[in-house]
């Protein structure tokens, strides 16, 4: 089974990762069920990277249905130590336009009451 230290989780509209070479699709079983999709492992600038589309290819899962525990467990089982997660989010500020890249410091998660929020208990 291939391994990677870096994992990328793609958000809405990001179902594949450009620039990966020597790509291999990996199915991973987890105690939390299957992840959102097969994990794509490939080489990017000499570093192995594991890519997983959060909502599955074709956007099969709504935000509250995403199997986040299975996704994280599956990436960890491939040796991932660092995760970059790309997502779409809204803003209440007019100066932040669509397609701007921001790093939010306050997030309201409206899906947290619907799905498990921890691996424990």
35-88 pLDDT tens trace? 999 999 999 999 999 999 999 888 888 888 899 999 999 999 999 999 998 877
Give the global pTM: 0.84
Q: Identify the DSSP state of 113.
A: T
pLDDT tens for residues 11-23? 877 778 889 999 9
Q: What is the mean pLDDT of residues 96-100?
A: 84
pLDDT at 31: 95
pLDDT at 120: 79
Contact 48, 41 (CB under 8 A): yes
pLDDT at 112: 67
Distance spanning both ends of the chain, measured CA to CA = 30
pLDDT at 121: 67
Contact 39, 23 (CB under 8 A): no
pLDDT at 34: 96
């Amino acid at each position: 089974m291939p391994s990677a230290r870096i994992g990328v989780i793609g958000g809405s509209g990001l179902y594949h990762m450009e620039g990966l070479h020597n790509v291999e699709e990996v199915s991973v079983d987890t105690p939390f069920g299957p992840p959102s999709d097969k994990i794509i492992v490939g080489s990017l600038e000499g570093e192995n990277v594991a890519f997983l589309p959060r909502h599955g290819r074709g956007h099969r899962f709504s935000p509250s249905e995403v199997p986040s525990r299975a996704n994280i467990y599956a990436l960890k089982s491939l040796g991932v130590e660092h995760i970059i997660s790309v997502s779409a989010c809204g803003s209440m500020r007019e100066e932040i336009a669509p397609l701007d890249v921001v790093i939010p410091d306050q997030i309201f998660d409206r899906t947290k009451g619907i799905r498990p929020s921890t691996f424990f208990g």
